[in-house]
């Protein structure tokens, strides 16, 4: 047996956390270049850590990712985390892998709702923060105010004295420089590297007296490789592991999930995972060779019988029903259409994503999928759609709870809105109708005002599109889960009814032209429609069955103006998240690889009338 040092001074493990769009991934790009991980002449995509198609398209980080850089003989393992509250489960589970956090704050915006969420998780684990006030080159930047707001946030989150004594750097992640004082020369990111080495503790292995402990690692991420199969990622908490070693997986209760051997050991080097022969306590590694162990399980030497403690993840607050697409157009565009393949795909997603729950319903062709928010579930649907799945999705609904006294409780969110002063009245009025309470109002400069609301999550479903309309597209809204509290009663839903096709076929331009006076059209001429499909929004509050196949009556009589060309207003096209928020409880969104259609749950008029009577 060999003795084990209390710390590994050749390594630091740190996570970068921030609100969405505060510059985490851009900063990591420059850390790569200035550490020599990426050559100056090497062609690397902008925001290299956002490797997924959806991440690049939306400009956000969806999955937490590991990387590492070398700085003065010290390996710095960096975890890039999502900034959006809907992907908070990704942040929660990876914090157990690191010993410190770099908190990025926009110099103009200061700490935002998601900043509070991720910082609270990090401080509760005792992690030491390094605050980086980013984007100080923006015209409206106020670094001092952002720093003061960070300190106030730490105090409100019950940070200890050591955490309150945090180092502060001022930076421009895009331009690749950081300074400890505003008057310093702005050249590179060396001050940030040095601060990480000085203030982030070196990993402390779990030891058993003076004797080296057997290998133990908590799984925090799971992904699949075309060649290696299931790959489990985590930090080695104790001991040493070598390729070929026997290991077993323990669940949270200590039960053995499976036994096997380490077939491949991978370490993170820049943008790549490279094979290594051995790893020891403090290393962040990926292991292949096990088929059943999953996130929150412990991988360990067979002599270890006690699992490592896993951080509890906040429960989901929103659910949708994923069903087999049973419309008349089903199976024309997708290849994955049966309930069996949909079930397998959803269970595989829940296995690797701890923030998602999947439950089979009484109807074997549908599944209840619960997550953190509309964006998280919308990303899952979009991913499945691109994989060739066809689905029918229900309206999102919040998950209620019951307290000890038997009273119904619902999730509440903190909503922070930045709008021009001219539009604040409309925003306050609309959110008040949705049972939100105004808790704060502060001017934010430039004719803008920052409004803070305490709102039931149920009332925010479908509001974002309305919010953008009311603020002429200039408003910014950020949300984060706060708590469960008393149920606030019914909330008024969509104010207008819909136009419903009454027969199958292809939409005719002449019919759509005649229907424009009835409301807003959502389909193009020549589009396939079927009975029960929603083709537009009614101008009144009732649903209306309409004929979109009616062609112009042809005669041999010619008159002035009779043959004028039909001029149609461009149809209203809804992206996926907007469509999910728009529908009512008796409607579905039909999602295929090529199309997004809205439809009634019951396609026949008499079936809808019968269901409406039963619901009363």
Query: Is 115 marked as binding a ligand?
Result: no
Is 136 part of any known ligand binding site? yes
128 is in an annotated binding site: no
415, 441 contact by CB (below 8 A): no
Bridge pairing between strands 128-134 and 100-106: parallel
> Residue 48 has what pLDDT?
44
CA–CA separation, 587 and 598 (whole Å)? 7
Closest Cα partner for 136 from 99, 169, 94?
A: 169
**Greater pLDDT, 174 or 37:** 174
Q: Does residue 26 have a known ligand-binding role?
A: yes
> Tokens representing 71?
């700085």
Q: Is 467 helix (H, G, I), strand (E, B) or coil?
A: helix
Task: Work out whether the CA dihedral 58, 62, 66, 70 comes out positive or negative.
Answer: positive
Q: Which domains are delineated in the chain?
A: 11-199 (3.40.50.300), 216-300 (2.40.30.10), 319-396 (3.30.70.870), 401-486 (3.30.70.240), 498-615 (2.40.50.250)
Model confidence at 3, pLDDT cuts 50, 70, 90, reads: very low
Residue 521: what pLDDT? 92
Is residue 45 very low, low, confident or very high in pLDDT (cuts 50, 70, 90)? very low
Note the pLDDT tens digit of each residue in 440-449. Answer: 888 877 788 8
Is 528 within any annotated ligand binding site? no
The pLDDT, as a whole number, for residue 94 is: 78
Is 50 assigned to a binding site?
Answer: no
Provide the CB-side half-sphere exposure for 405 (13 A, CA): 5
Percent over 70 (pLDDT), the chain = 88
Greatest mean pLDDT range, 25-34, 90-99, 172-181: 172-181
pLDDT exceeds cutoff 50 at 44? no
Half-sphere exposure of 196 (CA within 13 A, CB side): 30
Q: Choose the weakest-confidence range: 164-178, 324-338, 430-444, 465-479.
A: 465-479
The whole-number average pLDDT for the span 280-304 is 86
- % of the chain at pLDDT higher than 90: 19
Q: Is the pTM of this model over 0.85?
A: no
Rounded mean pLDDT of 280-294? Answer: 85
Contact 313, 64 (CB under 8 A): no
Residue-wise pLDDT tens digits, 111-145 = 877 777 778 888 888 888 999 998 888 888 888 88
Residue 24 known to bind ligand: yes
Confidence of residue 599 (pLDDT cuts 50, 70, 90): very high
Which stretch of DSSP H or E encloses residue 343? helix 339-352
Confirm whether residue 135 is marked as ligand binding. Answer: yes
Q: What is the DSSP string of 154-203?
A: HHHTT--HHHHS--EEEEETTTTEEESSTTS----SHHHHHHHHHHSPPP
At 7 the pLDDT is 56
Average pLDDT over residues 26-37: 76
pLDDT given at position 327: 92
The pLDDT of residue 181 is above 50 = yes
41 annotated to a ligand binding site: no
44: which residues sit within 8 A by CB, 6+ positions away?
Answer: 29, 32, 38, 271
Q: Which residue has the tokens 């020891």?
A: 280
C-alpha–C-alpha distance, residues 44 and 30, integer Å: 11
Task: Categorize the per-residue pLDDT at 268 as very low, low, confident or very high, splitting at 50, 70 and 90.
Answer: confident
The residues that bridge with 198 in the sheet, in sequence order, are none
Q: What is the mean pLDDT of residues 68-85?
A: 79
Q: Is the pLDDT of residue 89 over 50?
A: yes
Least confident of 4-8, 120-124, 326-330: 4-8
23 labeled binding residue = yes
Q: Grade residue 616 by pLDDT with cuts at 50, 70 and 90.
A: low
Mean pLDDT (the chain, rounded): 83
281: Cα separation from own chain's centroid? 31
Q: Computed over its alpha carbons, how large is the radius of gyration of the chain?
A: 27
Q: C-alpha angle with apex 203: 202 to 208, nearest 5 degrees? A: 135
329-378 pLDDT, tens digit per residue, is: 988 988 988 999 999 999 888 877 777 889 988 888 899 999 887 878 88
Residue 241 CA from chain centroid, whole number: 33
């Amino acid at each position: 047996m060999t003795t084990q040092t209390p710390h590994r001074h050749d390594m630091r493990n740190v996570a970068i956390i921030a609100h969405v769009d505060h510059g985490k991934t851009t900063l990591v790009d420059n850390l790569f270049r200035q550490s020599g991980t990426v050559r100056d002449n090497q062609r690397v995509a902008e925001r290299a850590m956002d490797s997924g198609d959806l991440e690049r398209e939306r400009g956000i980080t969806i999955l937490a990712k590991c990387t590492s850089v070398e700085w003065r003989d010290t390996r710095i393992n960096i975890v890039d985390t999502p900034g959006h509250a809907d992907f908070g489960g990704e942040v929660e589970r990876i914090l157990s892998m690191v010993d410190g956090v770099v908190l990025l704050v926009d110099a103009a915006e200061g700490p935002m709702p998601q900043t509070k969420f991720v910082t609270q998780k990090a401080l509760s684990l005792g992690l030491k923060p390094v605050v980086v006030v980013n984007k100080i080159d923006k015209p409206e930047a106020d670094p001092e105010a952002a720093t003061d707001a960070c300190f106030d946030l730490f105090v409100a989150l019950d940070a200890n004295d050591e955490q309150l004594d945090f180092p502060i750097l001022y930076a421009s992640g895009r331009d690749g420089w950081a300074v400890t004082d505003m008057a310093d020369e702005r050249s590179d990111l060396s001050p940030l590297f040095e601060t990480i080495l000085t203030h982030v503790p070196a990993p402390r292995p779990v030891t058993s007296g003076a004797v080296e402990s057997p290998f133990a690692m908590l799984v925090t991420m799971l992904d699949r490789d075309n060649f290696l199969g299931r790959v489990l990622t985590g930090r080695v908490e104790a001991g040493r592991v070598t390729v070929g070693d026997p290991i077993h997986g323990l669940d949270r209760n200590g039960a053995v999930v499976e036994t096997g051997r380490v077939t491949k050991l991978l370490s993170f080097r820049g943008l790549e995972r490279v094979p290594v022969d051995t790893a020891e306590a403090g290393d962040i590694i990926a292991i292949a060779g096990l088929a059943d162990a999953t996130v929150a399980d412990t991988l360990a030497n067979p002599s270890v019988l006690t699992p490592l403690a896993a951080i509890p993840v906040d429960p989901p607050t929103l659910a949708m029903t994923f069903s087999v697409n049973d419309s008349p157009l089903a199976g024309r565009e997708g290849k994955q259409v049966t309930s069996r393949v949909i079930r397998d795909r959803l269970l595989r997603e829940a296995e690797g994503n701890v923030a998602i729950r999947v439950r089979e319903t009484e109807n074997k062709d549908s599944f209840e999928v619960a997550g953190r928010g509309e964006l998280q579930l919308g990303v899952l649907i979009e991913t499945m759609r691109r994989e060739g799945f066809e689905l029918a999705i229900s309206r999102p609904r919040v998950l209620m709870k019951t307290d000890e006294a038997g009273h119904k409780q619902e999730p509440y969110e903190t909503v922070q809105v930045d709008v021009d002063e001219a539009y604040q009245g409309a925003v306050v009025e609309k959110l008040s109708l949705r049972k939100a309470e105004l808790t704060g109002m502060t001017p934010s400069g430039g004719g803008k005002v920052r409004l803070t609301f305490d709102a039931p999550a149920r009332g925010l479903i479908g509001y974002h599109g309305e919010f953008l309309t009311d603020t002429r597209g200039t408003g910014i809204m950020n949300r984060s889960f706060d708590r469960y509290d008393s149920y606030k009663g019914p909330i008024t839903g969509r104010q207008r009814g819909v136009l419903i096709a009454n027969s199958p076929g292809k939409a005719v331009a002449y019919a759509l032209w005649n229907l424009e006076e009835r409301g807003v059209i959502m389909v193009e001429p020549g589009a396939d429609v079927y009975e029960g499909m929603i083709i537009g929004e009614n101008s009144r509050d009732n649903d209306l069955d309409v004929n979109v196949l009616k062609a112009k009556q042809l005669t041999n009589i010619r008159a002035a103006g009779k043959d004028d060309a039909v001029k149609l207003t461009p149809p209203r096209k809804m992206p996926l998240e907007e469509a999910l928020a728009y529908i009512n409880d008796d409607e579905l969104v039909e999602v295929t690889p090529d199309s997004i259609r809205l439809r009634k749950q019951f396609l026949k008029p008499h079936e809808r009338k019968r269901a409406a009577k039963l619901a009363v």
